Structures are given as structure tokens and as C-alpha cells.
Structure 1
Amino acid sequence: MTPPSYQHLTPETLDAWLTADDPLTLVDIRDPASFANGRIPGSLHLDNDSLPALLEAAPRGQPMVVICYHGHSSQQAADWLAGVGFAEVYSLDGGFTEWQHRHPGRVER
């Protein structure tokens, strides 16, 4: 069995990266209504319609963090994104639900 090509990222580590203003690409794969209702600031909504633009514009060498509801479906998306050439891809552990619980002040609406 091949090990995943992405890494897991804790909410604490992402919070530290955002505080340090590290260059990141944040992609949120939740449904459009959930994304509109609340998201991590700076996140891009990623779906089948926005995928071509992301593949064209996102820096391949910059860390990319994939966000879903609970940190499960983001793993599959992170694995796929790493497979198409993004060098450093992470799945956010606990997803947006955990992020919102731990960092309610860092939720954009």
C-alpha cells in the first residue's frame, strides 16, 4: 500500500502559520452554502467549477491546506492535489468544525 502523499495538519499549527502570515493556499471543499456561512479567512472555495482556475494559478511549491467539514474528505482531496503536482499538501485535522470550535475569532462570514 502506498503511503499518502499529503500530511495531516493540526488546527494549532495552522493558527501559528496564519499568525506568522506564512504564504499558504487554503482551499475549502465544503458545499457553497457552508462556505458562505463561515470559513477560515483567506480560504478559496474549491469545487469542480473552480478547480481549473486553482490548478492554473496556485503556486505548486507553496503549502496548500485542504479543509472540509470534519477532516475526512479533505484527505482524499489532499492526496489528489499532491498527485497533480502540489509539493506540500495538508489535510486539516478536524476540518472546519474543529477549527470553528477552537478558533471562533478566526472565522470569516
Structure 2
Amino acid sequence: MATPFQHLTIDTLERWLENDTSLTLVDIRDPTSFAGGHIPGSRHLDNDSVAALFEAAPRERPLVVVCYHGHSSQQAAAWLAGQGFSEVYSLDGGFSEWEYRLPGRVERGGP
């Protein structure tokens, strides 16, 4: 069976953001970690906010899932693909790799 999501490199996501590619970017880390730093344009996603995501995010728009290191985002991406999102990605390396490689492209502050 084919994997319901695709892997996304940090280089590709950086290029998409620089080109203002239309996408939905969600971060599934805990709220404190998210507030401490996240990829600009991302929204915090947890059990309490998933309904709002379903209402707001177009199912045909690429959906990128970010976690700490790129592991738990794979499970979340597979689940979201099963909820009708047609193009779902898990960010390889997660936020920790993004912050390491692109420290100037980190937003601080609450959800």
C-alpha cells in the first residue's frame, strides 16, 4: 500500500515559503515548544484545534506537518491524509532541523 503522505525536505519548504506557495503549515509540538519558536506562517495543531483546521483549510491545498524531529509528524500526516487532505507532507528533520539550519526563519511567540 502506498504511503498516504510524502516526505518534504527543509530546502523545499524554504523555497515554497520564499515563493509564497499556497499551503497550510501545521505544527503538532506542545504549546510551550510552539510558543518558544516555530516556522513563520505555521499554526499550532492539537486535539483542541483540529476542528478549526478542518473548517479553515482547503482540502486541496498542500498540508505540511511539522513536529520535533520528523517522526510523529509522519503519523499525523497519514491521519490527516485519511481525513480528506489530498496532498500531505511530513517535514523531514522537523522543527529542530529547521531551527538549526535556518535560525533567522524562526518566529517566537504564542499560537
CA RMSD for the aligned pairs? 0.5
- What is the percent sequence identity of the aligned residues? 71
The match for 2:84 is 85
Aligned equivalents of 2:95, 2:2: Cα separation in 1: 25
Question: 1:70: how far off?
Answer: 0.2
Map 1:8-87 to 2 at 5 A: 8-87=7-86
Extract unaligned runs of 5+ from structure 1: none
Q: Which ranges in structure 2 are unaligned for 5 or more consecutive residues?
A: none
- State the shift of 1:56 in Å: 1.2
Question: What amino acid does structure 1 have at the position aligned with 2:48?
Answer: D
SS at match of 2:25: strand
**Deviation of residue 10 (structure 1)?**
0.2
Structure 1 stretches of 4+ with a deviation exceeding 6 A read none
Q: Cα offset for 1:11? A: 0.2
What's the CA shift for 1:4?
1.4
Q: Distance in 2 between matches of 1:43 and 1:21?
A: 13
TM-score (norm 1): 0.97
Aligned residues: 108
